[in-house]
Amino acid sequence: MAATLAALTNQQVRLAARPSGLPKPGDWQLTEEPVAEPGPGGIVVQTLAISLDPAMRGWMNEGKSYIKPVELGAVMRAGGIGRIIASSNPAFAVGDVVSAGTGVQQYLSVPAAELKRAGVFKIDLRLGSVHQWLNVLGMPGMTAYFGLMDIGQPKAGETLLISGAAGAVGQTAGQLARIKGLRAVGIAGGPAKCEFVVKELGFDACIDYKAPAPAGVPRWDPVRAGLKEHCANGIDIYFDNVGGDILDAALARLNRKARVIICGAISQYNNEGGAVAGPKNYLSLLMNRARMEGLVVFDYAERFPQAVMEMAAYLKDARMKSREDVVRGTPADFPATLLKLFRGENFGKLVLEFAPA
Ligand SMILES: NC(=O)c1ccc[n+]([C@@H]2O[C@H](COP(=O)([O-])OP(=O)(O)OC[C@H]3O[C@@H](n4cnc5c(N)ncnc54)[C@H](OP(=O)(O)O)[C@@H]3O)[C@@H](O)[C@H]2O)c1
Domain 139-298 classification at class level: alpha beta
Residues with Cβ within 8 Å of residue 268, at least 6 apart in sequence? 243, 244, 276, 277
- What pLDDT, on a 0 to 100 scale, did the predictor assign at position 116? 93
Q: Do domains 2-135+323-353 and 139-298 have the same CATH topology?
A: no
Find the 186 Cα to ligand 1 centroid distance in Å: 13
Length of the chain: 357
- The reply to whether ligand 1 has any atom less than 6 angstroms from the CB of 261 is no
Please say whether the beta carbons of 174 and 166 come within 8 A.
no
Q: Pick from 180, 184, 185, 186: which is nearest to 156 by CA?
A: 180
Q: Which amino acid is at 107?
A: Y
State how far the Cα of 301 lies from the Cα of 14, in Å rounded to an integer: 27
Nearest CA owner, ligand 1 atom 28 = 342
- The reply to whether ligand 1 has any atom less than 6 angstroms from the CB of 342 is yes
State how far the Cα of 94 lies from the Cα of 279, in Å rounded to an integer: 51
Read off the pLDDT band of 12 (50, 70, 90): very high
- Count CB-CB contacts under 10 A for residue 85: 17
pTM here is 0.97
Find the 266 Cα to ligand 1 centroid distance in Å: 5
Nearest CA owner, ligand 1 atom 22 = 341
* pLDDT tens profile 142-184: 999 999 999 999 999 999 999 999 999 999 999 999 999 999 9
CA 306 to chain centre: 19
Mean pLDDT across the stretch 10-29? 97
- The reply to whether ligand 1 has any atom less than 6 angstroms from the CB of 241 is yes
- What pLDDT, on a 0 to 100 scale, did the predictor assign at position 39? 93
- The reply to whether ligand 1 has any atom less than 6 angstroms from the CB of 297 is yes
- What pLDDT, on a 0 to 100 scale, did the predictor assign at position 289? 98
- Counting from 1 in the atom list of ligand 1, the atom nearest the Cα of 296 is 3
User: CA 83, 85, 88, 90: dihedral to nearest 10 degrees?
Assistant: 40
- What pLDDT, on a 0 to 100 scale, did the predictor assign at position 273? 86
For β-strands 254-262 and 235-240, DSSP reports them as parallel
Q: Decide if domain 2-135+323-353 falls under CATH 3.50.50.60.
A: no
- The reply to whether ligand 1 has any atom less than 6 angstroms from the CB of 77 is no
Domain ranges, ordered by start, for the chain: 2-135+323-353, 139-298
Find the 241 Cα to ligand 1 centroid distance in Å: 5
